[in-house]
């Protein structure tokens, strides 16, 4: 079956930069060239990763690939986005952890890695790409390439992957597939793709309907054109089955029956169940035995007696196994066969996490883990399996510094720990600074915003307050405008919720790292102050009713409060201490018509993520299994400095 690659006439009409590739060989000749497989390759095996920006349709497409390849019975009830299996993924509708699956098409097994699309989980993409030999790059036919599209494509090109571009969601009313195709080609040029990579094959698709076609005018009935293109354009899994055994571990999982699982790829050799092996980690060698050997078939792990080079597998029986370790056989010279360890990009944000010290610590019936030892052990376990997260000790034995890719990644970790029964308190997220040429510098973000035309003014005003500089503005039509800004990273912490409120949920905000600039001095993250309880007790409707004019509350009547606990957002820049437990004085004198009807506005209930974004440098988030509270670092009213002074002191220490 002949497949299309880049149509250079179309690119010339769409992209002003097509002349950069005039020296390339003819596209038709490149299209007819299929990847050559060596004698050592496995011709009946393909390994691919599906990468894209968040919400461009990766997991939905995998659903239909599994269905059409016959993974499920005809009468089997299958949940939507079946690869998003954890509770948090189902609740949020995003992929958090990279996962493995496989399908069989025309007798060839295709191992698939479904990767997260959110920038905060870029570490998952980086380490799991090593299990693949090619990639499907999904791009929304309306939104086009966005910052995370650039990030994942850059990683694929650095690994030398052939990339199949899937222009998805062509059924959208504002779809512009031809223009997006030109933008994708521009992106390949920007990233200095090799000649053979720049001649990328592509298909048009409607992922939610399971349709793919080579031309927009074609009639699509299924995903067969995409499957056939994978078999033709993605090379067979390389590796010599007769070579000494080498397995690189890319992921860690847990099974209730067999315990800790190491998921990786056989780089060379053959492995058998119950085979004695050596585990090489950071120069240390551990002798072990593979007790359970399994491979992926559909959504299941299936035990296998023997697997050879190129296959993706799961290994049980080695408790010391970690991401980046190498498993080798015990033949002579095995000590020198360690593969290079996996390295991911540096964290961009940090946050203090410590033992809960509030007056309500340990009062939740669901709390199981309260001490610094238990908290430290849990964080160490997380760092072992997630290379994008790091932990550092601080001057306090009860507090640790957690470093990650973004607020969402850290919030997901805290939410997971909370559901496991941990109590903790969190500081405000801060950017990680760097010293460049002897000068303290802060990271900058390239911010791409897509909003309706009538919200351009409010977005411009909000970003101006956060020291954002507009670098580009365009109007592609359809009543929406695209704005590009350069903003300090710390100016964007907490901005997403404010942005969605200002645009009434219609705006799209995407960011990517864009270099360093000298530190710009103190910046208040929040313009409004806090309403703080000045005593312990139970909040009453009477007290909250009379305090309503001061701002918006975070709680409802009947909730326990303590001194220093933040109960709402003040509508002025300063903090205010209030009595939230005041009750109406009762007398024995009946007075008709004097009772007020208490009408309270709906409170703003904070989640872990919104609380992290809301707090400033002098505040903390208290997290327990059944509550999320915000509080001042210094609880006593008479010992707490003014808000501006406290923030300046805290930011001065961090800088």
Instruction: Give the length of the chain.
Output: 655
Q: State yes or no: pLDDT of 390 exceeds 80.
A: yes
Q: State yes or no: pLDDT of 631 exceeds 90.
A: yes
User: Is 0.75 topped by the overall pTM?
Assistant: yes
Task: Specify which residues 390 forms β-bridges with.
Answer: 403
Which helix (H) or strand (E) segment is 204 a member of? strand 202-206
d(CA 555, CA 250): 44
Query: 89-103, 313-327, 392-406, 560-574: which has the minimum mean pLDDT?
Result: 89-103
Q: Which of 594, 583, 465 lies closest to 526, judged by CA?
A: 465
pLDDT above 90: percentage of residues in the chain? 29
State pLDDT tens for residues 510-550.
Answer: 887 788 888 877 776 777 889 999 999 999 999 999 899 99
Q: Which of 435, 444, 423, 432 lies closest to 403, judged by CA?
A: 432
d(CA 575, CA 643): 6
CB atoms within 10 A of CB 521: 11
Q: Which residue has the higher pLDDT, 388 or 6?
A: 388
Band (417; pLDDT cuts 50, 70, 90):
very high
Separation in Å, CA 307 to CA 113, 241, 312, 323: 19, 9, 9, 20
* The pLDDT of residue 524: 65
Instruction: Give, as one character, the DSSP assignment of residue 574.
Output: S
- Pair of tokens at residue 235: 């090379």
Q: State yes or no: pLDDT of 138 exceeds 90.
A: yes
* The pLDDT of residue 577: 93
State pLDDT tens for residues 371-382.
Answer: 999 999 999 988
* The pLDDT of residue 596: 63
Classify residue 406 by burial, with Cβ atoms within 10 Å: 0-12, 13-18, 19+: buried
* The pLDDT of residue 594: 56
State pLDDT tens for residues 430-480.
Answer: 888 888 888 888 888 888 888 888 889 999 988 888 888 999 888 876 788
Q: Provide DSSP, 604-648.
A: ----HHHHHHH--TTEEEEEETTEEEEEESS--GGGPPPHHHHHH
Under a CB-based contact definition with an 8 Å cutoff, are residues 34 and 233 in contact?
yes
Band (401; pLDDT cuts 50, 70, 90):
very high
Classify residue 391 by burial, with Cβ atoms within 10 Å: 0-12, 13-18, 19+: middle
* The pLDDT of residue 324: 87
Query: 70-79, 116-125, 260-269, 582-591: which has the minimum mean pLDDT?
Result: 70-79
State pLDDT tens for residues 483-501.
Answer: 999 998 888 887 887 888 8
State pLDDT tens for residues 204-217.
Answer: 999 888 899 998 88
Domains of the chain: 8-233 (3.40.50.300), 246-336 (2.40.30.10), 346-432+526-655 (3.30.70.870), 434-518 (3.30.70.240)
Classify residue 550 by burial, with Cβ atoms within 10 Å: 0-12, 13-18, 19+: middle
**How many CA atoms are closer than 13 Å to the CA of 207, on its beta-carbon side?**
22
Across 588-599, average pLDDT: 66
* Rg of the chain over all Cα atoms, to the nearest angstrom: 28
* The pLDDT of residue 375: 94
Band (561; pLDDT cuts 50, 70, 90):
very high
State pLDDT tens for residues 54-65.
Answer: 878 888 888 888
d(CA 447, CA 483): 8
Q: State yes or no: pLDDT of 391 exceeds 50.
A: yes
Q: State yes or no: pLDDT of 164 exceeds 90.
A: yes
Q: Which residue has the higher pLDDT, 439 or 2?
A: 439
Q: Which of 443, 425, 422 lies closest to 433, judged by CA?
A: 443
* The pLDDT of residue 35: 41
Q: State yes or no: pLDDT of 386 exceeds 60.
A: yes
* The pLDDT of residue 6: 40
């Amino acid at each position: 079956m002949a497949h299309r690659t880049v149509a250079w006439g179309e690119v010339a009409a769409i992209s002003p930069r097509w002349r950069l590739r005039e020296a390339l060989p003819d596209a038709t000749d490149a299209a007819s060239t299929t990847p050559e497989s060596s004698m050592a390759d496995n011709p009946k095996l393909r390994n691919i990763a599906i990468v894209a920006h968040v919400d461009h349709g990766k997991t939905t497409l995998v659903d239909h690939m599994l269905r059409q390849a016959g993974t499920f019975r005809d009468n089997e009830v299958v949940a939507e986005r079946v690869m998003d299996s954890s509770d948090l993924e189902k609740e949020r509708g995003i992929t958090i952890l990279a996962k493995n699956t496989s399908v069989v098409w025309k007798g060839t097994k295709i191992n698939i890695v479904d990767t997260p699309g959110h920038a905060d989980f870029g570490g998952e993409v980086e380490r799991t790409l090593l299990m693949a030999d090619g990639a499907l790059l999904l791009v929304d036919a309306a939104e086009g390439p966005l910052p995370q599209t650039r990030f994942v494509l850059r990683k694929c090109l650095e690994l030398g992957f052939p990339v199949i571009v899937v222009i998805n969601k062509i059924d959208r009313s504002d779809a512009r597939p031809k223009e997006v195709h030109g933008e994708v080609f521009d992106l390949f040029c920007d990233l200095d793709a090799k000649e053979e990579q720049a001649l990328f094959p592509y298909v048009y698709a409607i992922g939610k309907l399971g349709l793919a076609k080579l031309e927009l005018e074609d009639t699509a009935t299924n995903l067969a054109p995409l499957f056939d293109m994978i078999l033709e354009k993605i090379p067979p899994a390389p590796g010599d089955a007769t070579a000494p055994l080498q397995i690189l571990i890319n992921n860690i999982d847990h099974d209730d029956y067999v315990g800790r699982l190491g998921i990786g790829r056989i780089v060379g050799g053959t492995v058998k169940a119950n085979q004695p092996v050596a585990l090489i980690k950071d120069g240390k060698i551990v002798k072990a035995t593979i007790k359970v050997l399994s491979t992926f078939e559909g959504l299941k792990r299936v035990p296998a007696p023997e697997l050879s080079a190129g296959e993706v597998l799961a290994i049980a029986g080695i408790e010391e196994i970690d991401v980046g370790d190498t498993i080798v056989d015990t033949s002579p010279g095995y000590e020198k066969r360690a593969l290079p360890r996996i390295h991911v990009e540096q964290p961009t944000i940090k946050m203090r996490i410590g033992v809960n010290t509030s007056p309500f610590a340990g009062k939740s019936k669901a709390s199981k883990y309260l001490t610094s030892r238990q908290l430290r052990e849990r964080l160490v376990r997380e760092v072992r399996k997630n290379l994008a997260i790091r932990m550092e000790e601080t001057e306090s034995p009860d507090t640790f510094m957690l470093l990650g890719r973004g607020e969402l990644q850290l919030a997901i970790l805290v939410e997971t720990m909370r559901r496991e029964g941990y109590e903790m308190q969190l500081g405000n997220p801060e950017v990680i600074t760097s010293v460049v040429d002897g000068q303290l510098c802060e990271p900058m973000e390239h911010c791409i915003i897509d909003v309706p035309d009538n919200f351009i003014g409010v977005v411009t005003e909000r970003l101006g307050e956060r020291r954002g500089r507009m670098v580009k503005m365009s109007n592609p039509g359809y009543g929406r405008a695209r704005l590009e800004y350069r903003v300090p990273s710390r100016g964007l912490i907490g901005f997403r919720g404010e942005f969605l409120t200002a645009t009434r949920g219609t705006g799209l905000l995407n960011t990517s790292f864009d270099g360093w600039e000298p530190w710009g001095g103190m910046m208040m993250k929040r313009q409004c102050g806090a309403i703080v309880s000045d005593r312990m007790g139970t909040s009453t409707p009477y007290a909250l009713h009379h305090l309503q004019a001061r701002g918006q509350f975070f709680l409802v009547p009947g909730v326990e409060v303590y001194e220093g606990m933040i109960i709402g957002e003040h509508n002025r820049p300063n903090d205010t201490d209030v009595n939230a437990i005041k009750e109406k004085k009762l007398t024995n004198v009946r007075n008709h018509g004097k009772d007020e009807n208490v009408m309270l506005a709906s409170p703003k209930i904070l989640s872990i993520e919104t609380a992290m974004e809301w707090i400033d440098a002098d505040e903390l988030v208290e997290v327990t299994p059944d509550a999320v509270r915000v509080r001042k670092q210094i609880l006593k009213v008479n010992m707490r400095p003014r808000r501006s002074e406290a923030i300046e002191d805290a930011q001065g220490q961090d800088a």
